[in-house]
Amino acid sequence: MTEFLLLLLAHVLVDFYWQPTRWVTDKKEKKYKSRYLYLHTLLVIVVSYIALHQWKNPFPAIALGIAHGAIDLVKISFDRKGSLTWFIADQAAHLATIALTALVLTSNITLGFEAFMTWFNTPKTLARLSGALLSLSPVSFLVGILTKPWREELSKLAPGADDNLANAGRWIGMSERLLIFVFVLVNQYSAIGFLIAAKSLLRYNDKSTEPGIPPAYISKKSEYVLVGTLMSYTCAIAVALAVQILSQKFK
């Protein structure tokens, strides 16, 4: 675990703090021809070597640095728009190589895999993972179906209204439900009240400045957001409580 944390610290420093924006821009433009790609790879090797402080064995740091550079090259070659999917895939690949390097250093690859599978295959872990996933997209669809009549009513009041960011409500809802799911599992119900209060403050001065938007639209939209929020929170709490019950029953 120590080796993994040391390499993770080195990765965060090199990838996010010690990589200037001009390096990233140059890599995207020139790809494998960019000198900064190789300089970044070299920096990963040096920092990882120092972090591990295994002075007589530089090969793990060298292998990790080469893997890091190869992953970055794949990302900049195929990620044209800087998408979230590629960012997550890139970081997941880096974490996988860090974990593999740490396991090789401790000679516990088989034991580490067996420990992970033992942890993963427990009812408690499976229940929590399933509950977290259920709280995200499935609940979004459910709330969307339940609130559809009010969305249609709002669209009739102001057909041309365009006062929302694309998919922002869906992402906000999923983030809120994930937080609530975690809060319930750790028995921090007061934090849910804080989350509700914070959202209420953000919505307090929510007024449309677009011309032609009737006052009735503004008040009804606030009610629509409130109803959707309460539905969303109720579903998240219900799922989390169900997970808690299952976890306690199948310990």
Better-scored residue on pLDDT, 217 or 138: 138
Q: What's the pTM? A: 0.62
The whole-angstrom separation of Cα 4 and Cα 56 is 19
| Percentages (nearest 5) of helix, strand, coil residues in the chain | 80, 0, 20
The residues, any chain, with a CB within 8 Å of residue 58's CB and separated by 6 or more, are 49
The whole-angstrom separation of Cα 97 and Cα 114 is 18
Give the pLDDT confidence score for residue 47 in this predicted structure: 93
- For residue range 35-77, list pLDDT tens digits in order: 999 999 999 999 999 998 888 888 989 999 999 999 999 998 8
The average confidence (pLDDT) of the chain is 83
Q: What is the mean pLDDT of residues 185-202?
A: 81
Give the pLDDT confidence score for residue 125 in this predicted structure: 84
> How far out from the chain centre does Cα 136 lie?
12
- For residue range 93-104, list pLDDT tens digits in order: 999 999 888 888
Amino acid sitting at position 251: K
Give the pLDDT confidence score for residue 143 in this predicted structure: 86
Q: Where are the beta strands (DSSP E) in the chain?
A: none
Provide the b/e sequence for 147-175 (b: ≥16 CB within 10 Å). beebeeebeeebeebeeeeeeebeebbbe
